[in-house]
């Protein structure tokens, strides 16, 4: 149905301008009920959108700053692939101190979500030790030697507690002000080992040498698999050590 679904939020909803950075979705600033918001149109299933929007509502209730879903007039959190969310102000992290604040926020996310159900259709990194596909990942499309290297990296995470990971905490997806750190764009969020969120500039999460190596190798393997086979994925796979 496309953007026509906006009428389900009322008669005064207006798309303003597209936002940069949307790859899997069409993302726009929107004015709804006189307030600036963000509208996103994509091809995710209803089950996937229900998982994401319920997660964001829960995190907002727990005090994290995230985009909060705006219900339709009928009370639904999404409609025909469209989600409206509150607009989050702020800029990207720039200093080592900024990144330490980001690490603290991510650890708060991890503490709040042990036992959270997996996003529909997704697999965790350690699930991929025993299966080949999950959402955007198809290990069968990768070179067998590359798959072996990725699985060796993920095997080092075996037995760890899982939780929700943001999945893509790059500077574009972080909004910092003096008072708080916000995480936006939860498209890559899923249940996994928290290490995948903690590979940061300045080692801001304060990992020791071994923990940082485990996390960095697992993250590079994940990025290679989830993006295969674009230039970014090839670079990340080159960082994963041979078995």
pLDDT digits (tens, 9 = 90+) for 20-46: 755 668 999 999 989 999 999 998 999
Task: Check residue 148 and give its pLDDT.
Answer: 97
What is the H or E stretch that residue 46 is in? helix 46-61
For the chain, the helix, strand and coil percentages under 3-state DSSP, each to the nearest 5? 40, 20, 40
Task: Check residue 136 and give its pLDDT.
Answer: 86
CATH number for the domain running over 96-239: 3.90.1200.10
Question: Following CA atoms 200, 178, 52, 133 in sequence, which dihedral angle do they give, to the nearest 10 degrees?
Answer: -10
Boundaries of every domain in the chain: 2-86, 96-239
How far apart (Å, rounded) are the C-alpha atoms in residues 175 and 93? 7
Q: Which of 28, 14, 25 is nearest to 52 (CA)?
A: 25
Rounded to two decimals, what is the model's pTM?
Answer: 0.94
CATH number for the domain running over 2-86: 3.30.200.20
Residues of the chain with pLDDT under 50: none
Domains 2-86 and 96-239 share a fold: no
**Number of Cβ within a 10 Å radius of residue 97:** 11
Task: Check residue 21 and give its pLDDT.
Answer: 59
């Amino acid at each position: 149905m496309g953007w026509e679904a906006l009428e389900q939020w009322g008669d005064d909803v207006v798309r303003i301008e597209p936002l940069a950075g949307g790859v899997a979705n069409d993302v726009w600033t929107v004015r709804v009920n006189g307030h600036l918001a963000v509208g996103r149109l994509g091809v995710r299933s209803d089950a996937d959108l229900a998982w994401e929007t319920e997660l964001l509502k829960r995190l907002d209730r727990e005090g994290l700053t995230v985009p909060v879903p705006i219900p339709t007039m009928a009370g639904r959190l999404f409609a025909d692939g469209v989600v409206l969310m509150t607009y989050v102000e702020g800029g990207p992290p720039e200093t080592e101190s900024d990144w330490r604040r980001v690490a603290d926020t991510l650890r708060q996310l991890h503490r709040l979500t042990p036992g959270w159900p997996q996003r529909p259709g997704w697999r965790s990194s350690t699930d991929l030790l025993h299966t080949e596909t999950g959402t955007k990942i198809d290990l069968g499309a990768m070179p067998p030697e590359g798959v072996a290297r990725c699985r060796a990296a993920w095997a080092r995470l075996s037995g760890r507690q899982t939780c929700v990971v943001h999945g893509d905490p790059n500077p574009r997806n972080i909004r910092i002000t003096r008072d708080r750190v916000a995480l936006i764009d939860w498209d890559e969020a899923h249940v996994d080992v928290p290490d995948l969120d903690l590979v940061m500039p300045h080692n801001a999460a304060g990992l020791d040498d071994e923990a940082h190596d485990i996390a960095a190798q697992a993250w590079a393997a994940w990025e290679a698999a989830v993006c295969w086979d674009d230039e970014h994925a090839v670079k990340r796979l080159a960082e994963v050590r041979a078995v």
